[in-house]
């Protein structure tokens, strides 16, 4: 009995000693991890800047099978936000500041602990050097947990290292894996649609689309409007000299709708037209290559661009449908004039029984 008391006393003294030792440790932490990732800086920055992509590389996410993410309308740039709940963790992330293609500052709350998170992107040999930093302050309970797991620098640092490795692997495969298929000449059907139009610089197109497409979908849900197809983009203006692109984010509807004057949402009617269709399976960053392949097809087949109709991109499957960029599907339609195909000669018999050929005037027909 006396031995048991001594053992309990010893355990108590050890616990008190450990508590005193842990309490004297620094509560502030500053964890920094860097990695060279084989991806261009702009691509890497845009990927990290969209909080929807964090599910694809966060190591703590893949380790918690029951975790679920919740997203508001804005997930890109300053003011972007997301939250999560899982078996092992819960929290939220807010983007406070961004400097395009350079840095991102965020606030993270994980299991009640708040920390400042920052990203820095720098061009280097072999790709982009990304530096991920986390600063914060631990409470007593967190300090004890960190102590038994090798220290906060070890636990958080290990998570960051695994996440950066996942980011490198994800971008290398998901961003670069793509296929381009020129489907050929098609009859593009017309129909009604709602649109919201903007003018921006070319480098800002992807960022604006990630904001405007979810915003348009939310408008439909809020006003109980039924979508009659997939979202698409109309390119109204392409001024390379002044680096200005005018585009409209559109969603098809069944019927005509009218809005009060001054609304930034407009109703429009698209007429049917002939177009060359191409299909991109992969990340949106390959759309320019898809355009180029389509124009090459047009030149080879002597097709003339119909400038009375706009080029459109239809987002058949995007980031809201599947997380992996390699599985996104985008259809591009470039309007062309129908090819002129001459009719076959018609033979008529003269009264003297000889045959003559009569070549009719060529007519416009749509080739399949």
Q: What is the DSSP string of 20-48?
A: HHHHTS--EEEEEEEEEESS-HHHHHHHH
34 and 149 part of one domain: yes
pLDDT at 118 over 90: yes
**Segment 263-278 mean pLDDT:** 91
43 and 152 part of one domain: yes
| Tokens of residue 350, six digits | 């003269």
Helical packing angle, 140-148 and 152-170, nearest 10°: 70
Domain boundary among 126, 156, 175: 175
> Quick one: pLDDT at residue 351?
56
Q: Is the pLDDT higher at 307 or at 88?
A: 307
Does a structural domain hold residue 2? no
pLDDT at 199 over 80: yes
d(CA 28, CA 136): 6
111 and 154 part of one domain: yes
**Segment 159-185 mean pLDDT:** 92
Whether 163 contacts 34, CB under 8 Å: no
pLDDT at 156 over 80: no
> Quick one: pLDDT at residue 240?
78
74 and 216 part of one domain: no
pLDDT at 150 over 60: no
185 and 207 part of one domain: yes
306 and 263 part of one domain: yes
Whether 91 contacts 83, CB under 8 Å: yes
Q: Is the pLDDT higher at 15 or at 368?
A: 15
148 and 245 part of one domain: no
32 and 47 part of one domain: yes
Does a structural domain hold residue 360? no
Q: Is the pLDDT higher at 344 or at 309?
A: 309
Which residues are CB-neighbours of 107 under 8 A, at least 6 positions away?
93, 94, 96, 114, 115, 116, 117
d(CA 61, CA 83): 12
pLDDT at 253 over 60: yes
Q: Kindly tell me the number of DSSP H helices and DSSP E strands found in the chain.
A: 7, 19
> Quick one: pLDDT at residue 60?
77
pLDDT at 120 over 80: yes
Residue 57, domain CATH: 3.30.530.20
> Quick one: pLDDT at residue 6?
55
Domain boundary among 119, 142, 175: 175
Does a structural domain hold residue 347? no
185 and 158 part of one domain: no
Nearest by Cα to 335 from 307, 314, 316: 307
Whether 89 contacts 111, CB under 8 Å: yes
Does a structural domain hold residue 93? yes
**Segment 239-259 mean pLDDT:** 87
Residue 214, domain CATH: 3.20.80.10
> Quick one: pLDDT at residue 202?
83
Whether 95 contacts 116, CB under 8 Å: no
Domain region containing 100: 25-175
- Share above pLDDT 90 across residues of the chain, in percent, rounded to a whole number: 42
Under the banding of pLDDT at 50, 70 and 90, the label for residue 366 is very low
Q: What SS3 class is residue 367?
A: coil
Nearest by Cα to 207 from 82, 78, 305: 78
Highest mean pLDDT (candidates 11-25, 199-213, 222-236):
222-236
188 and 135 part of one domain: no
d(CA 195, CA 249): 5
d(CA 110, CA 145): 14
- Share above pLDDT 70 across residues of the chain, in percent, rounded to a whole number: 78
Query: What is the number of structural domains in the chain?
Result: 2
d(CA 160, CA 248): 39
Does a structural domain hold residue 240? yes
> Quick one: pLDDT at residue 22?
45
Q: What is the pLDDT of residues 58-91, one digit of tens each?
A: 887 767 778 889 998 889 999 999 999 988 778 9
Strand 127-137 and strand 103-110: the pairing is unpaired
Domain boundary among 175, 191, 212: 175
> Quick one: pLDDT at residue 350?
57
Does a structural domain hold residue 302? yes
**Segment 314-327 mean pLDDT:** 87
220 and 288 part of one domain: yes
């Amino acid at each position: 009995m006396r031995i048991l008391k001594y053992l309990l006393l010893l355990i108590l003294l050890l616990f008190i000693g450990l508590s005193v030792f842990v309490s004297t440790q620094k509560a502030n932490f500053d964890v920094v991890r860097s990695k060279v990732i084989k991806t261009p800086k702009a691509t890497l920055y845009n990927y990290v800047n969209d909080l929807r992509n964090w599910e694809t590389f966060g190591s703590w996410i893949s380790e918690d099978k029951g975790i679920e993410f919740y997203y508001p309308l804005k997930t890109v740039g300053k003011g972007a936000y997301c939250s999560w709940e899982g078996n092992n963790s819960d929290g939220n992330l807010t983007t406070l500041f961004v400097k395009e293609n350079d840095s991102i500052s965020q606030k993270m709350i994980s299991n009640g602990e708040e920390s400042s998170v920052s990203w820095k992107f720098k061009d280097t040999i072999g790709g982009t050097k990304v530096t991920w930093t986390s600063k914060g302050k631990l409470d007593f309970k967190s300090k004890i947990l960190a102590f038994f797991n090798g220290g906060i620098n070890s636990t958080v640092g290990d998570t960051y290292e695994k996440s950066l490795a996942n980011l490198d692997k994800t971008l290398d495969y998901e961003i670069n894996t793509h296929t381009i298929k020129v489907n050929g000449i098609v009859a593009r059907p017309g129909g009604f649609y709602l649109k919201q139009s903007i003018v921006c610089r070319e480098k800002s197109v992807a960022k604006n689309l990630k904001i405007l497409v979810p915003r348009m979908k939310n408008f439909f849900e809020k006003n109980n409007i039924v979508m009659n197809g997939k979202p698409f983009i109309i390119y109204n203006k392409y001024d390379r000299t002044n680096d200005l692109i005018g585009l409209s984010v559109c969603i098809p509807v069944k019927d005509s709708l009218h809005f009060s004057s001054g609304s930034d949402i407009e109703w429009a009617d698209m007429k049917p037209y002939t177009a060359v269709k191409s299909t991109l399976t992969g990340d949106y960053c390959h759309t320019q290559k898809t355009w180029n392949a389509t124009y090459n097809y047009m030149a080879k087949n002597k097709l003339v661009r119909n400038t009375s109709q706009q080029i459109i991109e239809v987002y058949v499957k995007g980031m809201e449908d599947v997380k992996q960029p390699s599985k996104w599907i985008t259809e591009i339609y470039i309007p062309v004039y129908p090819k002129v195909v001459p009719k076959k000669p018609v033979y008529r018999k003269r009264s003297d029984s000889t045959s003559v050929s009569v070549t009719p005037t060529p007519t416009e027909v749509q080739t399949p």
